[in-house]
Amino acid sequence: MDLRIKRERLFDEDVYTVHPDDYRALCEQLKKDGFDYPRAISSLDMGYGLRVVLQLTRMSDLAKVEVRTDVSYDVAAVDSVTDLWPGVEWHEREAYDLMGISFRGHPDLRRLLLEEEWDLHPLQKRYDTGGYLIPDWRPADWPDPAPWQEPAPSQEDAAPEGGEGE
Amino acid sequence: MSSTIGLEPVLGRSDEMIVNMGPQHPATHGVLRVVIGLEGERITRAVPHIGYLHRNHEKIEESRTYFQVVPFTDRMDYVSGTQNELPVVLAVEDLAGIEVPERAKMIRTMFFELFRIASHLVWMGTAMLDLGAITPFLYTFWDREIILGIVERTAGARMLPNYYTFGGVRRDLHPHFFKDVAEFLDHLEKRMPDYEHLVLENPIVHARTVGVGVLSKERAVARGVSGPVLRASGVAYDVRKAFPYDAYPEVEFEIPTSDAGDTYARFWVRFQEIYQSVKILRQLLEKTPKTGPFKGRAPARLKISGERYRAVENSRGELGVYVVGDGGDKPYRIKHRGAAFSNLQVIPDLFIGAKFSDAIAILSSLDPVFGEIDR
Amino acid sequence: MSLIPIPEDRRFKIKLIGYDPGRSRPWLERFVYSLYVVAFWLFVIATYAGVPALFDWLGWDGGWGYVVMRALQVVMLFLLSAVIALMLILALRKYLGKVQERYGPMHYGPAGGIQTVFDALKLLGKEDFVPAAADWLTFRLAPAVTFVSSFAIFAVVPFASGWTLADSNVGLIYLIAVSTLSAYGVLLGGASSGNKWALIGALRAGAQMVSYEVPLALVFLSVAVWSGSMSLGKIVDAQLGVWNVIPLFIPFVLYVISSLAELKHIPFDFPEAESELIAGYNVEYSGMSFAFFFLAEFVELFLLPALIVVFFFGGWHGPLFGLEPGTLAAGALQSLYFSVKTAVWVWIFLWIRATLPRYRDDQLMEFAWKAMIPLALLGLVLAAYMRLIWR
C-alpha cells in the first residue's frame, strides 16, 4: 500500500507522520500489527493547520507508536478510529471540543467538556487565554515540503492555502 | 454539559424512567452527571456527561512558563498531590537534558508512593461511604492526615505541595522525615488488618461487589483504561515496570493483578497496591542517603523545543503528558492524558444491565477524581 | 516530636488534628445523659402510675373519667416520644462520634446535652415547603400517617406488670396492622413528592415491606403459639421461668433482621439510601414535615427494640427484692428493668448502624423470600411441637 508517510524515531517511540487521507489506513495497519492499547489522542494547533497525534501501545512487547497527521483549518477533519480502539472515544470528542477537529464516523461526536452552545474551540492559537480572537492572527503558510513524504507526487491537496482565520 | 442528550425517551418504551444522577449527587465523587434510564432497578442506558469542573488547564498552561506549569498540575488530581507534577517534570527534563541526582529521584519516588497510599486511603473511605458504611471514611482520613502532615513538614503544603521541580525537588527533606515515614508505615501495617476486616472480608461488601460490573480483559485494553482498573481485569500493565522512571528500577515490587475484573477485584488490587507501596517505601528508606544533593543543575530560564510524551503510574493509572515546546520559555502545547478520564469511559459498558445500587459500587471502584477528568 | 499516633496517644491526637478525647469530659457526659434517662423513667412512672393514681384520688375513675384518663396518658406518651427522640438522636450522634474517633455534639449545653433541642427548634423555624409537582394532600398527610402508625405501637407495649394502655387480647394482630401502616406513610410520601428519587425510594419501601412483613407475621405466630396468647402482657407473663429467646431462637434471629428492615436501618436502609437515592422518600420534605418522619424513625428505634425485649427477653421480668408486684415501687423497678434491656438493644442497633455497609435491595428480598420465610415456618413448627411436648 502506498501511504504518504514519514517514519522517524523520537526517544522511545516510533513516530509516523501521515497524510490525513491515509490516517485511517495506517491505523488499520497498526491495529493489525497488534497495537491494542490507545493511550491518548492529542491535538495541536500548528499555525498552518491542526495536528492530530494518536498514541498507541502494544501490550505484548510495550512498543510505543505515535501517529501524526496534519489537516488544514478549512477541512479540519480526519476519519475516526473509535471502531478500532473504543478507548479513544472521549479523546476524539475532547479534540473536537477544544481544538475543533472533526472525526468522521465518530458515533457520538459532540462537545465533551464545554457547553453545547459554545461556539469556539479554545485551544486554537487564534484565541487568547481569555477566549477572545487575537486580532492580528493569520494562519501561516502550509510547509512546503509537506510533513509526510509523497510516494508519488500528486498535487491535488498537498498545498492548500490555509484557512482565512474567520 | 447542560445538554439534554440521553434524556429523550426511547420510542415505544413507556416503562423506562430517566433519572439524572448528578452533578449534585453524593456518590458521584464530585461533579459527574450520568443520565440513567431505569427499568425498575435495572439500568437500561447510561450517558455520562462531564465538564462541570472544566478550567481548561491546557490553555492556561500555554501562557505560563514551565516553572509555573508545575503547580498547576497539582490541581488536577487533587487527592494525589505530587503525582501530577511528575509527568511534566520528566518530559521537560528529557527535552532539556537535565540530569537528576540519584537521591532526588529517590525522594521523588518516596513522595510518589506516600501519595499513592494517601489516595488509596481516600478511595477506601469514599468507596465504603458509597456502600453505606460511614465509619471507615473517618478512619482512613485519619491515616491520610498523617501522610499529609509528613508532606507538609517537608514540602510546606499538604494537598497541593508543588514539590517536584526540574532536576529534582524544591526543598531538602525535613530532618524528621525518615523517622516519621518509618513510624507511619509501622502504624499503617497495624491498621491494614483492620481495614481488610472492614472492607475486603466484609460479607456485605462481598455481596455487593463480587461479580458486579465485570470488565473483560479485551474490553479493558481496548477502552484504554489503566491503573488498578486494568490490573483488576488481568493485564499486568504498570508504567512503573513497563517504562520505569525515577527510582523504580532500583526497588523491588510486584504488580498485583486479578483475573476476575469485577468490582471486588478492583477493591482487592487497590489494597494490594497499598502493601506494595509500603514495601517500596521501606526499601527506599534504607537506600536513600540522609544527606546529599536534592536537586540537579537546571537553568533558571528553561527554553525548550521538541515534543515528548511521558507517563507515570499514578494512583488511578497512566497519567501522561504530551509536551510540545517551540523554543520559548512557555510550552507551545501541553496535553494531559488523565488516567481517571480514560477509566471513566467504561461507564456505559459497566452500568448498562446492572442494578442501580450496583452502579454506585461500580463508580466507586473506578475511583474518579474530577479535577483531573475535567481539567 | 512524633507525628504518628498510637491510638491511645492523647498528645498526638491533640497535636495533629486537635482531637482530644479528654476534652469531651466523659463524666460530665455520663451525668448529663443520665438526666435524660431519669426524665424518661419519671415520664413512664407518671404516665402509667401517676395519671391513674391522680384520677383515682379525684374519684374520676369511671365512665368519661376513664376516657379522659386514657387521653391524658396518650398525651403523656406523646411527650415521652419527644423525649425519646431527643435522647436517641443525641445518643446516636455521640455514639457515632465515639466510634469514629471524634467528639460528636459538644457546644450546646454541657457536653452537647441540648444539641438536639436546638436541632428541633431549627426544624421548627424552617419553611415547610411543598413542591409544585407534589400532590398536596397526600404529601401533607404522609408524615402524619408514618408518625401515628409508629406512635400507635405504644398502646400495647407493657412497661411493667399492668403498665400498658391497652392489654388487648389481639395485641399481636394490632401490631401487624399498625406496623404495616407505617410503610404506607413512606410509600405515599415518596410517591406524592413529584421527585424521581423519592419515587424510587417509595417503591423500594414497598418492595421491602412486602418481603419482611411475611416472616415478621410468622414470627409473631410462633410467639403466640409458644405463649398461648396474643396479648403482650400475657406473653411477658409466660416468660417468668425462661425467656423466649431460648426456645424461640430461630424466630428471635428472624425478628431482629425484620426489625432492621422495618426500621429502614443499615444494612437495609434502601428507601433512604443516602449515597444512592440522596435521601430517598423524604428528599422533598423540609421543616416539621421532615421532623415527623425523623421523629417516627426514632420512636421506632425505641419501640422495635422494646418489642424484642417483650417477645424474647422477658419484658419487665427481673428480681424484685421482695417487693409486692403491683405496687408503685415494684412497677418502677420493673419499668427500669424493661428500659435497661431496651437500651441494650437500642445500643446494638446503633452499633450495627455505625459498623455495617448496605445490602442491595433485591438481596434483602431474595433473603426474605428464600431463607427467612422457610426458616420462620420451621420456627413455627418447632414452637408448636415444643408447646405440645412441654406445656
In terms of domains, do C299 and C185 share one?
yes
Cβ separation B237–A59 shorter than 8 A: yes
- Nearest chain A residue to B52 by CA distance is A113
Is residue C323 pLDDT above 80, yes or no?
A: no
Domain tally for chain B? Answer: 1
Is residue C37 pLDDT above 90, yes or no?
A: no
Return mean pLDDT, chain B: 87
A126-165 tens-digit pLDDT: 888 887 888 888 888 887 777 777 765 544 444 444 444 3
Cβ separation B242–A62 shorter than 8 A: yes
Q: Which chains touch C (3 or more CB pairs under 8 A)?
A: B
Distance, CA of C328 to CA of C320 (rounded, Å): 12
C-alpha closest to that of A94 among A109, A73, A72? A109
Range of the domain at A62: 5-104
Residue B30: inside a domain, yes or no? Answer: no
B353-363 tens-digit pLDDT: 888 888 989 99
Q: Does B351 contact chain C (CB < 8 Å)?
A: no
The confidence score (pLDDT) of residue B13 equals 61
In terms of domains, do C369 and C316 share one?
yes
Under an 8 Å CB criterion, which residues of C touch B? 1-6, 16-17, 96, 99-102, 196-197, 199-200, 266-267, 269-270, 273-276, 278, 354-363
Chain C residues with CB under 8 Å of B207 CB are: 359-360, 363
Domain tally for chain C? Answer: 2
Domain tally for chain A? Answer: 1
The confidence score (pLDDT) of residue C376 equals 92
In terms of domains, do C96 and C139 share one?
no
In terms of domains, do C316 and C355 share one?
yes
Is residue B49 pLDDT above 50, yes or no?
A: yes
In terms of domains, do C185 and C116 share one?
no
The confidence score (pLDDT) of residue C6 equals 40
Cβ separation B176–C102 shorter than 8 A: no
B247-293 tens-digit pLDDT: 888 898 999 998 888 899 999 999 999 999 999 999 999 988 888 88
Q: Which chains touch A (3 or more CB pairs under 8 A)?
A: B
Return mean pLDDT, chain A: 82
The confidence score (pLDDT) of residue A152 equals 56
CATH code at B63? 1.10.645.10
Range of the domain at B337: 57-374
Is residue C390 pLDDT above 60, yes or no?
A: yes
Per-residue pLDDT band for C374 (boundaries 50, 70, 90) equals: very high
Please state the rounded mean pLDDT for residues B126-140: 88
Which residues partner with B45 through β-bridges? Answer: B37
Q: Would you state the cell numbers that stand for residue A78, as one nine-digit string?
A: 480526519
In terms of domains, do C108 and C137 share one?
no
Residue at B343: amino acid letter = N
Q: Does A44 contact chain B (CB < 8 Å)?
A: yes
Q: Would you state the cell numbers that stand for residue C159, as one nine-digit string?
A: 412497661
C153-210 tens-digit pLDDT: 888 888 888 788 888 888 888 988 888 888 888 888 888 888 888 888 888 888 888 8
Is residue C24 pLDDT above 80, yes or no?
A: no
Which residues partner with B326 through β-bridges? Answer: B305
B58-97 tens-digit pLDDT: 888 888 888 888 888 888 888 888 889 999 999 998 888 8
Is residue A87 pLDDT above 90, yes or no?
A: no
C96-153 tens-digit pLDDT: 888 887 778 887 877 778 888 888 888 888 888 888 888 888 888 899 898 888 888 8
Query: Is the pLDDT higher at C5 or at C151?
Result: C151
Is residue C269 pLDDT above 50, yes or no?
A: yes
The confidence score (pLDDT) of residue B273 equals 92
Burial, B214: exposed, middle or buried (Cβ in 10 Å; 0-12, 13-18, 19+)? middle
Please state the rounded mean pLDDT for residues B148-170: 87
Distance, CA of C161 to CA of C330 (rounded, Å): 9
C-alpha closest to that of B169 among B89, B255, B228? B89
Mutate to test the interface with C, among B16, B34, B134 (most CBs of C within 10 A): B134
Residue B21: inside a domain, yes or no? Answer: no
Last residue of a domain, one of C91, C125, C159: C125
Is residue C1 pLDDT above 50, yes or no?
A: no
Is residue A116 pLDDT above 90, yes or no?
A: no
Is residue A50 pLDDT above 80, yes or no?
A: yes
Range of the domain at C120: 1-125
Query: Is the pLDDT higher at A142 or at C296?
Result: C296
Residue at C149: amino acid letter = S
In terms of domains, do C218 and C90 share one?
no
Is residue C14 pLDDT above 70, yes or no?
A: no
Chain A residues with CB under 8 Å of B243 CB are: 12, 62
Is residue B10 pLDDT above 60, yes or no?
A: no
Residue B37: inside a domain, yes or no? Answer: no
The confidence score (pLDDT) of residue C20 equals 59
Q: Does an interface of 3+ CB pairs under 8 Å exist between A and B?
A: yes
In terms of domains, do C236 and C111 share one?
no
Please state the rounded mean pLDDT for residues C324-347: 86
The confidence score (pLDDT) of residue C320 equals 80
Instruction: Give one DSSP letter per residue of B66-106, joined into a string.
Output: HHHHHHHHHTTSTTSGGGGHHHHHHHHHHHHT----HHHHH
Task: Give kind and range of the element (H or E) at residue C150.
Answer: helix C136-151
C-alpha closest to that of C2 among B158, B138, B181? B181
Last residue of a domain, one of C105, C125, C145: C125
Distance, CA of B128 to CA of C265 (rounded, Å): 17
Cβ separation B223–A115 shorter than 8 A: no
**Total length of chain B:** 375
Q: Does B139 contact chain C (CB < 8 Å)?
A: yes
Q: Does an interface of 3+ CB pairs under 8 Å exist between C and A?
A: no
Residue B27: inside a domain, yes or no? Answer: no
Q: Distance, in angstroms, between A161 CA and closest chain B CA?
A: 23
